[in-house]
């Protein structure tokens, strides 16, 4: 009996081990299939030049530019503009998103070509421009700052004080500037256009790559939003220093959604503006913009964002009234 019992137990153990092995294999296969699905989803997304197949699709151009868009890693899909797109479709539930992954220069080209795309991470321009049709502002950013390492920050402050004159710094050839290719800097752009950059880096994750180069001593500084430094510090535990710029000090930057300057784009912006009050107050959207703006200013971000949007809305209303 004992022999038969041991044999039975041995057979049962083999069955259990086989079942467990199959379970692990099934779980692994499921994870692999999921990864393949995500990869294939990106690879098979249509080209931006394709006309929309139907009216219930909104074509979004996105790029690998954390923390605006986070396509991979710990904070995947938790970028400011990732969540903004999600929230837009929460209040436009009849419209489905289509994602077009492309580098920043290609996004600019698509808009210049009036291809049927929208980009959620544009700088609002009250006067508008030929490249895109803008929504009402979605939220505010703290103004662009110089971002550098601690040693360079001490040197720059000793030479130029704070806020620092960007015009003087750009003219100082001892310090090497780098920034992501295709980036634009609002009121600072004319100053930057006058100087040849040391490096305008192309490719994915440009802003983070630039900060890695500063951290390793290959560049001296960049120009960007303080939340870029915040993201870098949270992800890599490397301290970066932000220095205010005199030419834009106390001038917040308004973010907006931009769509192609054609009939399709105007229709999308009209629909987005109708739900803008809900977008601005959406708890998930407010949470993500607070996340990336935390600890980067002594000013409470929620107050800063709310008061800034109100001032922009009042100025727009006054302008519209004066035109009547």
pLDDT of residue 144: 94
Backbone angles phi, psi at 233, to 5 degrees: -65, -40
CA-to-CA distance for 257 and 273, rounded, in angstroms? 10
Q: Please indicate whether residue 295 or residue 211 has the higher confidence score (pLDDT).
A: 211
CA-to-CA distance for 104 and 273, rounded, in angstroms? 24
Q: What percent of the chain has pLDDT over 70?
A: 79
CA-to-CA distance for 102 and 175, rounded, in angstroms? 31
Domains parsed from the chain with CATH numbers? 57-142+253-323 (3.40.190.10), 145-248 (3.40.190.10)
pLDDT tens digits, one per residue of 77-119: 999 999 999 999 999 999 999 999 998 889 999 999 999 999 9
Strand partners, 286: none
Q: Please indicate whether residue 282 or residue 127 has the higher confidence score (pLDDT).
A: 282
pLDDT tens digits, one per residue of 137-174: 999 999 999 999 999 999 999 999 999 999 999 999 99
Query: Picking from 32-36, 84-88, 313-317, which range would have the lowest pLDDT averaged per residue?
Result: 32-36
**Strand (E) or helix (H) holding 214:** helix 206-215
pTM of whole model > 0.95? no
Cβ neighbours of residue 81 closer than 8 Å, sequence gap 6 or more: 62, 68, 69, 120, 121
CA-to-CA distance for 265 and 134, rounded, in angstroms? 9
- The strand ranges marked E within the chain are 57-62, 96-101, 118-123, 132-134, 139-141, 145-148, 178-180, 199-201, 221-224, 241-243, 253-260
Question: Could you tell me the pLDDT band of residue 202, with boundaries at 50, 70 and 90?
Answer: low
Question: Could you tell me the pLDDT band of residue 234, with boundaries at 50, 70 and 90?
Answer: confident
CA-to-CA distance for 81 and 29, rounded, in angstroms? 32
């Amino acid at each position: 009996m004992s022999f038969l019992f041991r044999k039975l137990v041995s057979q049962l153990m083999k069955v259990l081990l086989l079942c467990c092995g199959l379970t692990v294999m099934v779980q692994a296969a499921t994870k692999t299939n999921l990864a393949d699905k995500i990869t294939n989803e990106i690879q098979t997304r249509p080209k931006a030049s394709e006309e929309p197949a139907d009216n219930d699709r909104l074509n979004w151009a996105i790029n690998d530019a954390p923390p605006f868009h986070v396509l991979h890693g710990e904070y995947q899909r938790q970028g400011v503009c990732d969540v903004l797109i999600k929230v837009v479709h929460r209040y436009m539930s009849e419209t489905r998103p289509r994602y077009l992954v492309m580098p920043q220069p290609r996004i600019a080209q698509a808009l210049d070509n009036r291809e049927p795309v929208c980009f959620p991470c544009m700088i609002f321009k009250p006067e508008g421009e030929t490249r895109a049709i803008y929504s009402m502002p979605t939220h505010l950013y703290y103004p662009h700052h110089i971002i550098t390492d601690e040693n360079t920050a001490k040197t720059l402050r000793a030479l130029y004080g704070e806020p620092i004159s960007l015009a003087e710094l750009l003219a100082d050839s001892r310090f090497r500037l780098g920034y992501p290719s295709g980036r634009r800097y609002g009121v600072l752009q004319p100053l930057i256009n006058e100087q040849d950059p040391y490096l305008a880096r192309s490719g994915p994750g440009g802003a983070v790559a630039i900060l890695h180069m500063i951290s390793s001593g290959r560049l001296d500084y960049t120009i960007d939003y303080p939340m870029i430094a915040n993201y870098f510090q949270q992800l890599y535990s490397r301290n970066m220093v932000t220095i205010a710029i005199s030419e834009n000090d106390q001038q917040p930057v308004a973010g907006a959604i931009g769509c192609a300057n054609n009939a399709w784009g105007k229709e999308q912006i009209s629909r987005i503006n109708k739900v803008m009050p809900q977008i601005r107050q959406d708890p998930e959207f407010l949470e993500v913009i607070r996340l990336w703006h935390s600890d980067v200013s002594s000013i409470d971000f929620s107050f800063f964002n709310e008061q800034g949007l109100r001032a922009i809305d009042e100025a727009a209303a006054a302008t519209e009234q004066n035109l009547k």
